[in-house]
Amino acid sequence: MNTHIVIAIDGPAGSGKSTVAKLIAKKLGIVYIDTGAMYRALAYKAYTMDISFEDEKSIAKLAEAIEIELEGEKVLLDGIRVDGHIRMPVINENVSKVAKIRQVRDIMVMHQREMGKKRSVVMDGRDIGTHVFPNASYKFFLVADIDERARRRSLELIQKGYEVEFGEIKAELENRDMQDSTREASPLIKASDALEIDTTSKTPEEVADTIIRLVRTEE
């Protein structure tokens, strides 16, 4: 392993980014940074403070005031662990509205770049290889069939105790794709030098092992 690498993993919701990134981090012994959790934490804070997701000015101001820390899979918001709350349906439905705010993205990207400057990291999101770390050591873009992505998201929510309707989850993902890919600030697009991997019929372990083999081959 080189002394300091950045592995960027982008892709739409449900493509397996977080699960794969966690496996890579564990197997390579490097730090995992879930950038999506940062936007979710902010959305959750706005939700608990009864700030409208449409109130971009207030949300941008909130982003400047809060402190988000990532410790492995733990997400600390102003010192309080919130990773058990940031994936509730209301956050899933509205996090795109928070993530599209340019001032918010500027603040989050600044923090993300600081995290990746000091150590080797695997970072997943939607604009890691295109905007956060355009010079990342390795770039991957994960995709999957929309039905498979909806199945994964439904299963994830069911395991957390939520009642879900497959059609609603699928529609939510399609709407999220549209918002993410058409937003003005750092839209979801594949970096020109990223390797695309279709995860539809692959297990997270298979995808992670494929990426690790490529990383080790190029060292």
Residue 84, annotated ligand binder? no
Query: pLDDT tens-digit profile of 179-216?
Result: 889 988 788 999 999 999 999 999 999 999 999 999 98
Listed by start position, the domains of the chain span 6-206
Residue 72, annotated ligand binder? no
Q: What pLDDT was estimated at residue 218?
A: 66
Residues in the chain, overall count: 219
Residue 161, annotated ligand binder? no
Under the banding of pLDDT at 50, 70 and 90, the label for residue 117 is confident
Residue 12, annotated ligand binder? yes
- Alpha-carbon span 109 to 48, nearest angstrom: 24
Residue 129, annotated ligand binder? no
CATH number 3.40.50.12780 is the correct assignment for the domain at 6-206: no
More confident residue, 202 or 100: 202
> Which tokens is 205 given?
């372990």
Q: Mean of the pLDDT values across residues 92-110?
A: 91
Residue 210, annotated ligand binder? no
> Which tokens is 198 given?
């279709």
- The neighbour count for residue 219, using CB atoms within 10 Å, is 8
- Alpha-carbon span 133 to 156, nearest angstrom: 29
Residue 17, annotated ligand binder? yes
- pLDDT above 60: residue 2: no
Q: What pLDDT was estimated at residue 219?
A: 59
Under the banding of pLDDT at 50, 70 and 90, the label for residue 53 is very high
